[in-house]
Amino acid sequence: MKYAVITGTSRGLGASIAALFLKQGVNVIGISRNENNELANLADENNVTYQHYTCHLANVEKVDKVFSIISDQLVRKQTSCIYFIHNAGTVNPINTAENYTAEAIDSHVHVNLIAPMIASSIFLKAVKKCNIPLINVYVTSGAANRSVYGWSAYSATKAGLNRYARTLALEQEELNTNSKAIIFDPSIMDTGMQNEIRSTSKEAFQDVEQFQQYKREDQLRNTNTVAEVLIDILIEPAVIENGKYYSVKDIL
Ligand SMILES: NC(=O)c1ccc[n+]([C@@H]2O[C@H](COP(=O)([O-])OP(=O)(O)OC[C@H]3O[C@@H](n4cnc5c(N)ncnc54)[C@H](OP(=O)(O)O)[C@@H]3O)[C@@H](O)[C@H]2O)c1
């Protein structure tokens, strides 16, 4: 049995990835602050399971506890493969760096970078004992590779995530394990995150009009289309290129 552990399944890209995995016969465990009842129904229809853990990813103790419970559960079962997909993310705070509060920085870095590092560490340790293939996927952003006025936190955490993924891939290669890590860049999609971006003031975010234009001109991709690209990459673990930066823009 294959399992996908996905952060941020309540809406947006994470909900689409979870739904597509369920339709492919993969059991899904979702983690977010809000539940998504449609996924449980979809799991029933496809004879697989959907389990939800309510967790604020900025809470280190809770993250440690929840992912330890999930990992214990997965290594005890007849698991043939584990996908860990860190999709949850926040673009907030959007503002120039001097306007960030300590609380906002703390929460942002925890959700985007610290939580996936804790989760990956737990899963890597667990699969080492039983040799179950583990595929770590980190959802990134083009903002990791360029500077955007008002997005210093977001660019920093996504760049950190990319480097983390590549280093983890290198280590697992050297250690000759069954674990891989890839980076997935979904490009711009029509989600709540884009709505938040469009609602920002021009003082805080200079490019706001460009993002309003993306929406007006229907340039934002549907999350189901993007999720299909990711599922195509993942469905055959043996051919996934460890350490690769997969970009939707290069594929569609
Ligand atoms: N949308 C775009 O154009 C775009 C472009 C490039 C990259 N991305 C990346 O794609 C990924 C998905 O983005 P999206 O557009 O689908 O975002 P979204 O619609 O805002 O959804 C974000 C998901 O993350 C979860 N999440 C956020 N903060 C959380 C927290 N503190 N604890 C637990 N879960 C949390 C949310 O669940 P709850 O609120 O229920 O907790 C939600 O399920 C993100 O990593 C984002 O950076 C998006």
Structure tokens at 241: 């290129």
Mean pLDDT of the chain: 97
> Judging by beta carbons within 10 Å of its beta carbon (0-12, 13-18, 19+), is residue 243 exposed, middle or buried?
middle
Q: What is the pLDDT of residues 30-73, one digit of tens each?
A: 999 999 999 999 999 999 999 999 999 999 999 999 999 999 99
Cβ 90 under 6 angstroms from ligand 1: yes
Instruction: Determine the distance separating the centroid of ligand 1 and the alpha carbon of 237, expressed in angstroms.
Output: 25
Confidence of residue 148 (pLDDT cuts 50, 70, 90): very high
Which residues in 42-74 are b (16+ Cβ under 10 Å) and which e?
A: bbeebebebbbbebebbeeeebeebbbebbeeb
What pLDDT does 136 receive?
98
Instruction: Determine the distance separating the centroid of ligand 1 and the alpha carbon of 177, expressed in angstroms.
Output: 30
Cβ 215 under 6 angstroms from ligand 1: no
The residues that are catalytic are: 154
Atom from ligand 1 closest to the CA of residue 86: 45
Cβ 144 under 6 angstroms from ligand 1: no
Instruction: Determine the distance separating the centroid of ligand 1 and the alpha carbon of 8, expressed in angstroms.
Output: 6
Confidence of residue 5 (pLDDT cuts 50, 70, 90): very high
Other residues' Cβ atoms within 10 Å of the Cβ of residue 173 = 14
Question: Which of the 8 DSSP states describes residue 118?
Answer: H
What pLDDT does 77 receive?
67
